[in-house]
Chains A and B, each alone.
Chain A
């Protein structure tokens, strides 16, 4: 990996009695995407506000593009694009006027700002609404315009604070596409999100923060492996009593066998190629496999294991053990329910 483009070093920030950040450190290599993941109030936005010169930490240091954020905020502003959580747009200007204003205030000549604005309006599917007043835009359109504003000067470092929160699925997909295109172009991106699938889909590395502290840091794959919560279910064509012994070495924990002897289930470490290994072993034993299902742990499992039970009514933060994630079942439905709970 190349140079570090974003670096936070032991950031502390309190608002009154609330410790928004209690010693957060992370770094983002040039050209990569960091997903800052955490429930509401975890400190994600505070971290972004410090890195984008909008807030001062109580302690700690930060660098963006090699510039000390605290010592030279003005210089940092020349290197960054920011799309904040609350779309920061002028409601009384049109979409186009908003972008031109941002361009001009970033030091572009008016002509160039107009050209870039037109390009981005096209890119974000806002060309038809370009000359309408932003006050009348939908939430999704505002988000896209805000994103466009952050990209206008093609800054090398981008901060997107919950870029898809509150968007409908179509707009969300559209924002994802744009982010993917961007990351292909060498931009360094810090993205905060409370959506696990978003971090999974877009980020090279994920930092999970909760209660102002980093509780996990790794690639999506590393984090998933850490949760070891895959579940294996094998369906045989003909019952085979030896099947239990065949798969036992490949899984962790007890193998459960259904009454008819056709279905076997077990928890397993989420190792690469687990399904292949299982099929081969069963095949060597002469067993016919009808169906095999390995449910990979989702980031949801990791997240809930790490952050503790962020479900309504539980504030202890230590309720869930990593092992319990497997029992919850990583189905999308369960994940959604938990996400809702985390946001509440």
Chain B
């Protein structure tokens, strides 16, 4: 004889749809974001790609290449390159999202999260928000380094902020692509290789470092439609910095702000649901 199975507890389900459920989700996301920030504070070298790298790149590009690259339409290379450096650094920093998630999945901690009555996507959202905060730090480092080496803008504060916000929003949407990669990586190391195989070419085959006018035709077409080019051109336009792409007839170069917003929204709309699907798949079995 099997004794009767215990009655199910009354509060067991149905809380997710209530307002209490929403508040709880937000708290879960905050907890996870804080956890990831603590990780960074424990291993500050993790931050080198958003602190040391921007400084290094700024100095390298301005002093090594600055004199050798003429800007079509005139203007200083320093003023030209800053938006490009911001886009380059923020694009490559999304690698951190891939590595961070791959590390979480690789370690026992993910099983702890999985047996807790938490809102599971908080693992992803918390990661992306922590990475957005480090991206903000990165943007600050780029701006300060730029000002130190002579970057100037005549734009008003709202336009300046809008320029940074556009690039940060793009980096945020890209971090969800990185999340997809991290969730499909066998190890944190293979997630890291994503940065070199995908992110660096993405950042370099663009108008970020050099004007695309000098590129071979096919490469120029790729560069002009590269979302990194759109966000870079948008920031240049907003900051009244030299923007040689404005003379290129490709639609994204003629409408860089609209194009960069459209790219970011599109990437986010595809990558975020995909990432949560990959996450579900990796965490059930």
A associates with B: yes
- Nearest-neighbour CB distance to chain A for B2, whole angstroms, equals 6
Task: Collect the chain A residues with CB atoms within 8 Å of residue B38's CB.
Answer: 92-93, 97
12 contacts between A and B (CB under 8 A): A27-B2, A52-B115, A54-B111, A63-B5, A66-B5, A82-B115, A88-B108, A92-B39, A97-B38, A101-B35, A104-B27, A105-B32
A210 to B35, CA, bound (A): 40
Instruction: Tell me whether A79 and B9 are in contact (CB under 8 A).
Output: yes
- Which residue from B27, B109, B284 sits with its C-beta under 8 Å from A90? B109
Instruction: Tell me whether A105 and B2 are in contact (CB under 8 A).
Output: no
A273 to B113, CA, bound (A): 51
A27 to B27, CA, bound (A): 36
Task: Collect the chain A residues with CB atoms within 8 Å of residue B6's CB.
Answer: 2-5, 30, 65-66
Instruction: Tell me whether A90 and B8 are in contact (CB under 8 A).
Output: no
For window 238-285 of B, CB contacts with A under 8 Å fall at 284-285
Q: Chain B interface (Cβ within 8 Å of chain A)?
A: 2-9, 11-13, 16, 24, 27-28, 31-32, 35, 38-39, 42-43, 107-118, 122, 284-285
Instruction: Tell me whether A133 and B13 are in contact (CB under 8 A).
Output: no
Instruction: Tell me whether A89 and B112 are in contact (CB under 8 A).
Output: yes
A77 within 8 A of B: yes
- Which residue from A5, A93, A104 sits with its C-beta under 8 Å from B28? A104
CB nearest to B108 among chain A residues: A88
A87 within 8 A of B: yes
Tally of contact residues, A, Cβ under 8 A: 44
Task: Collect the chain A residues with CB atoms within 8 Å of residue B12's CB.
Answer: 67, 72, 75, 78-79
Instruction: Tell me whether B8 and A4 are in contact (CB under 8 A).
Output: no
Q: A66-B8, A133-B42 are in contact. Are A89 and B109 (CB under 8 A)?
A: yes
Task: Collect the chain A residues with CB atoms within 8 Å of residue B2's CB.
Answer: 4, 7, 27
- Which residue from B4, B13, B113 sits with its C-beta under 8 Å from A105? B113
A1 within 8 A of B: yes
Task: Collect the chain B residues with CB atoms within 8 Å of residue A1's CB.
Answer: 3
A173 within 8 A of B: no
- Which residue from B32, B108, B122 sits with its C-beta under 8 Å from A87? B108
- Which residue from A7, A72, A87 sits with its C-beta under 8 Å from B5? A7
A86 within 8 A of B: yes
Instruction: Tell me whether B8 and A105 are in contact (CB under 8 A).
Output: no
- Which residue from A54, A78, A79, A133 sits with its C-beta under 8 Å from B114? A54
Instruction: Tell me whether A84 and B108 are in contact (CB under 8 A).
Output: yes
Task: Collect the chain A residues with CB atoms within 8 Å of residue B9's CB.
Answer: 65-67, 78-79
Instruction: Tell me whether B5 and A53 are in contact (CB under 8 A).
Output: no
Q: A56-B285, A105-B31 are in contact. Are A4 and B115 (CB under 8 A)?
A: no
CB nearest to A97 among chain B residues: B38
Q: A65-B9, A75-B13, A80-B115 are in contact. Are A89 and B3 (CB under 8 A)?
A: no
Instruction: Tell me whether B8 and A88 are in contact (CB under 8 A).
Output: no
A88 to B82, CA, bound (A): 44
A29 within 8 A of B: yes
Q: Chain A interface (Cβ within 8 Å of chain B)?
A: 1-5, 7, 27, 29-30, 52-56, 63, 65-67, 72, 74-75, 77-80, 82, 84, 86-93, 97, 101-102, 104-107, 133, 149
A92 to B103, CA, bound (A): 12
Task: Collect the chain A residues with CB atoms within 8 Å of residue B28's CB.
Answer: 104-105
A235 to B148, CA, bound (A): 97
CB nearest to B12 among chain A residues: A75
Instruction: Tell me whether B8 and A107 are in contact (CB under 8 A).
Output: no
CB nearest to B7 among chain A residues: A66
CB nearest to A25 among chain B residues: B2
Known contacts A90-B35, A93-B39, A104-B28; can you find 9 more A-B pairs with CB under 8 A?
A: A3-B5, A5-B6, A67-B8, A77-B117, A88-B110, A89-B112, A90-B109, A105-B118, A107-B118
Task: Collect the chain B residues with CB atoms within 8 Å of residue A89's CB.
Answer: 108-109, 112
Instruction: Tell me whether A75 and B35 are in contact (CB under 8 A).
Output: no
Task: Collect the chain B residues with CB atoms within 8 Å of residue A87's CB.
Answer: 108
- Nearest-neighbour CB distance to chain B for A214, whole angstroms, equals 15
A102 to B116, CA, bound (A): 8
Instruction: Tell me whether A53 and B114 are in contact (CB under 8 A).
Output: yes
A7 to B2, CA, bound (A): 10
Instruction: Tell me whether A74 and B43 are in contact (CB under 8 A).
Output: no
A53 to B13, CA, bound (A): 15
Instruction: Tell me whether A88 and B116 are in contact (CB under 8 A).
Output: no
A87 to B43, CA, bound (A): 22
- Which residue from B3, B43, B122 sits with its C-beta under 8 Å from A29? B3
Task: Collect the chain A residues with CB atoms within 8 Å of residue B116's CB.
Answer: 77, 102, 105-106
Task: Collect the chain B residues with CB atoms within 8 Å of residue A2's CB.
Answer: 3, 6
A292 to B109, CA, bound (A): 54
Instruction: Tell me whether B114 and A107 are in contact (CB under 8 A).
Output: no
